[in-house]
Structure 1
Amino acid sequence: DTEEPAAASKPYDHRRKKVVCKHWLRGLCKKTDEDCDYLHRLDHGRMPECWFFAHYGDCTNRECIFRHVRPEDKTLECPWYNRGFCKHGARCHHRHTRKKPCVRYLGGFCPDGPNCAF
């Protein structure tokens, strides 16, 4: 029995498996874990956004498992991530943007210091 790994069956796609499959959550996904472009495991940090909260700004389900992301939070950068660490990680409602580090600083010293563009 030699099974081919799932990664070898499809070319790697950065967009795949970033959000939990909403059909799998209800037990209705007709695709296998390997064929579905969405996660088939419970990961609260990768839950889809709540449809009601996204459309109406409110969700009355007290036990809702979907993410409640305010529109204004989607556009704000996370100040803690920008300083080096955000304790919320994938569950943070703010945007985590990776920035290109200064090559001179990585080499040991940047003469521009706090005025560096990077």
Structure 2
Amino acid sequence: MTKAAIEAVLTGVINSHKHEALSKQLVENGYYRFHDGFLIQWGHPSDNQDTYGVQTIYFPHSFVDTSYSILTTADSSYQTYYVGRTICNKSAGSFKVSANQKNKERFFWIAVGKG
């Protein structure tokens, strides 16, 4: 999924609930929280992998539990190179992303759930 596609999905959801926002931060690493508890968060973190190719992402706001969903996609100039990410160690306030190789490319993420 490209940055434009993620932005289009977010814009559609946000526009359909314009008057329901409890709080929001519409920036590159932001969130949108609705009155009913629905929470959308997203980001484009800098590379900060450890020696094993793992990076911890901290949410702007914690979810109530780990039943949220996460989608990641690489931000890469490689067109014939696999730059996948694996989600691991989910908690209410963070998750870890493991690169399949130490490739150092940035990525986009989006998480949705109850906040």
Between Structure 1 and Structure 2, the one with more helix by share is 1
TM-score if structure 2 supplies the norm length?
0.21
TM-score if structure 1 supplies the norm length?
0.21
The structure having more radius of gyration, on CA atoms, is 1
